[in-house]
Chain A
Amino acid sequence: MSLILTEEQEMLQDAANGFLAENAPVAAFREVRDSKNPDGFCRDLWKEMANMGWAGIIVEEEFGGSEFGYVGAGVLAEQMGRNLTASPFFSTSVLGATAVQRYGTAKQKEQHLGSICDGSTLFALAVDEGPRHRPEHIEFAATPHGNGYKLSGAKTFVADGHVADKLIIAARTSGDANDPSGITLFLVDANAAEIERTHTPMIDSRSAANIKVDGLEVTGDDILGEVDGGYEALEGILSAGRAVLGAEMSGSSQQAFSITTDYLKEREQFGQKIGSFQGLQHRAAHLATEIEMTKSAVLKSLQLLDDDFESASATCSMAKAKSGMTAQLSTQEAIQMHGGIGVTDEYDVGLYFKRVHVAQQMFGDAGFHADRLAKRSGY
């Protein structure tokens, strides 16, 4: 298969580009931020995105989705990364939809996929329990209770967890805290009385929540996938999340870089355009090269998710690592090459810098994935 977008995917890209530039540019993101919108995104905008088929971008047509696959999701995420568009797309349409579509029972699919596609139900994935991503380390307890389980424990950094209607929680049903087998996924109602949610606004002005669960009773119907076999499903959901976050960071890198090269072409110091200084040119050229490498890594991981989902895990890790490194470099350089104006709130490049930092931390930074890759390769 060719490592380029198909005509259909290109059309989706153009449409997304046009729509977001008009309806959800950085200015709209600033408005959400400055108005202290408690949701962290604009609900009307989300409704419109759902109407265009974006909320159900990976969902099969029979459930009301537009079935564009992960490449399609990545195409959208990349444009959202360019525009810093805030929406529940990632938590609901990527994580939630992947979880239900790939690992849900027929009944769960019937119940949830339609409401993901029409944008009416928001999902969030609760996995991490500390400040660093460690998906195999799960203490959150699911203890047998009657015919089902009782859930108790705490989760941190649940993206969009404060607004979610449904939570997917990774809990321990057996084994010790670091045992990947013994993890089970539960799909629960986020508004249950036993769940306490604390909104934790992040430095990138996106929203997450810490959640505490105290004795929530669940039944077999609430289990997503296999009992004790949840890690595999979690891996699949995280892989999809990593690749799509990679696409988002790739978009942010590209946009921060393009703002910067425009600036290099127009700002004058010492009687010439600063873009004519070789000290800046070489760094820009290096960055441009890294951005090309990132695009390939991201596209390959998305294509693999569509072609052979089970085998995509390592590739998604690599895409997340590569895009994270590049995004960090791109946004750091964007600030530096702008000089003083780059560290002002008024100027957009700082927003990209903050966003990619949070996106890096989500589901593992470059170091996490390098470690994972090394372990997998036997060293």
Chain B
Amino acid sequence: MSDLEQFRAETRAWLAENCPEEMRDGDITAENQCWGGRQWEFQSDAQKRWFEAALAKGYTVPTWPKEYGGAGLSADEAKILTEERDRINARKPLSNFGISMLGPALLAFGTHEQKLMHLGAIARGEIRWCQGYSEPGAGSDLASLKTKCEDKGDHWLINGQKIWTSNADISDWIFCLVRTDFDAPKHKGITFILMDMASEGISVKPIILISGHSPFCETFFDDVKVPKAYGDDNLSVVGEVNRGWDVAKNLLVHERGMLGTMSPLRGATGPENLGGYAAGEIGVDATGRLDDPSLRQKIAQAEIDDWAYNLTVERLNDEANAGNGLGAKSSMLKYAASELTKKGSQLRMDIGGTDAATIGPDGIEYGSLANTWLYNRAYSILGGTTEVQLNIISKRVLELPSA
């Protein structure tokens, strides 16, 4: 048996023993995932057991080095772990912005002290992070941000506003882009800084979305004092002052990579396939074909697209692991995934007809088709809009001339 085959056998056995039945429904939604953080309470005993087993093994962040709480798995081993987890439909033991976004950026740009302090806490699910990038005047044009950060000797003084800060109200810390130099060209005066959300002067206000719910907030900074270093020499700034754009860009690649790995048609509202769902709702004719030929073609095309998309995630990751980094191609995945996600939930609404379009006594029910459909509109906006991804592909991948 090769080392990898051995690893697969061990992983399979470990999962069989440690992943509780209840964590194997494959139906991964925002609600049933384990997010971690100071305010986190496990939703079930099974969720807690699964998390603890994974943590002990370093499997909340399997590819991170062991000294920072990971299992130090190679890319091949990590792929096997994912495959084996998918095989039994197991949920991830822990997921949040710390794992998918800040962690990789810290691994690339952080000092040893920063990594020790923050990565371990992320791996252990102790700290939940939110992302303070967007501002009312800086969305797609992120680098035009204005939140002001002044050097006050032993600390930084921050004033300004962020918007669309997902889950700011239940997060413990924020990674944030601030302007430290207003005179430099716009990309050259930005700094990447880490703050405790409990700091004096930070306040948050939820934003209600068209789905009627709100994981999003406006975040205000009013004379917030951020120490230059936490403890001895654990700096609050990641990378160099005024060079935060490099960190920000690296993080966006990970964000898009993460957003680009969702399984669009399945993720929408459950594990069943779209066609099966449609056959159940609409019925089939005497030859077994869905009793709505135009919808049938659209569903089949979407399933073909979804299938090709999932293979592309796999292929580009295999290519990246073989040495050609994913780079700007992550924008292709982000673009395809968000458009397909919207298409999937649109089709589910069309299949459901008037049943899917009803409203309950408390408004549009959380987790309903309609709720998901409305929420999914945001996929082609958050993390960089579809248009911005297409701009990036044009410039970075195709190297088309700029205007």
Contacts and interface: CB of A to CB of B under 8 A. Distances in A.
Interface of A: 2-4, 261, 264-265, 272-273, 275-278, 281-282, 284-286, 288-289, 292-297, 299-300, 318, 321-322, 325, 366-367, 369-371, 373-375, 377-379
Contact of B273 (A277, A289, A377): A377
Nearest to B403: A276
A282 B394 contact: yes
Nearest to B282: A379
Given A289-B332, A379-B275, 20 more contacts: A265-B401, A273-B401, A281-B398, A282-B391, A282-B394, A285-B389, A285-B390, A286-B335, A293-B308, A296-B311, A299-B315, A300-B311, A366-B304, A370-B304, A374-B275, A377-B273, A377-B276, A377-B303, A378-B275, A379-B278
Interface string B200-227: 0000000000000000000000000000
Contacts of A325: 301
B296 A374 contact: yes
A282 B289 contact: no
B366 interface: no
B303 A297 contact: no
- 3 nearest A-B residue pairs (beta carbon): A370-B300, A285-B393, A296-B311
Interface in B299-329: 299-301, 303-305, 307-309, 311-312, 314-316, 318-319, 322, 329
Contact of B305 (A275, A278, A293): A293
11 contacts: A2-B322, A3-B314, A261-B400, A288-B393, A292-B332, A293-B311, A295-B315, A318-B307, A321-B301, A371-B297, A374-B296
Given A293-B309, A297-B308, A265 B400 contact: yes
A366 B300 CA distance: 10
B284 interface: yes
Nearest to B329: A292
B397 interface: yes
Nearest to A299: B315
A374 B311 CA distance: 19
Contacts of A276: 400-403
Interface size class of B (residues with CB under 8 A): 35 or more
Interface string B380-403: 000000010111011001111111
Interface string B261-291: 0000000000001011011000010001110
Contacts of B397: 285, 288
A378 B288 contact: yes
B297 A370 contact: yes
B336 interface: yes
B304 A281 contact: no
A275 B399 CA distance: 9
Interface of B: 273, 275-276, 278-279, 284, 288-290, 296-297, 299-301, 303-305, 307-309, 311-312, 314-316, 318-319, 322, 329, 332, 335-336, 387, 389-391, 393-394, 397-403
Chain B contact surface mostly? helix
B390 A281 contact: yes
A297 B322 contact: no
A289 B303 contact: no
Contacts of B284: 378-379
Contacts of B314: 3, 296
A157 B398 CA distance: 38
B289 A374 contact: yes
Nearest to B79: A2
B23 to A, nearest CB: 27
Contact of A285 (B297, B308, B309, B398): B398
B373 to A, nearest CB: 20
B275 A296 contact: no
A296 B296 CA distance: 24
A373 B300 contact: yes
Contacts of A366: 301, 304
Contacts of B275: 374, 377-379
Nearest to A295: B315
A311 B206 CA distance: 51
Contacts of B335: 285-286, 289
B322 A275 contact: no
Contacts of B390: 281-282, 285-286
A195 to B, nearest CB: 36
Nearest to A297: B308
A370 B296 CA distance: 9
Contacts of B312: 292-293, 295-296
B234 to A, nearest CB: 39
A265 B307 CA distance: 33
A265 B393 CA distance: 15
Contacts of A282: 387, 390-391, 394
A367 B297 contact: yes
A321 B297 CA distance: 12
A233 B183 CA distance: 72
Given A292-B329, A379-B278, A379-B284, A297 B401 contact: no
A293 B336 contact: yes
Nearest to B397: A288
Contacts of A4: 315, 318-319, 322
Contacts of A371: 297, 300
Contacts of A294: 308
B78 to A, nearest CB: 13
Contacts of B336: 289, 293
B301 A264 contact: no
A286 B397 CA distance: 12
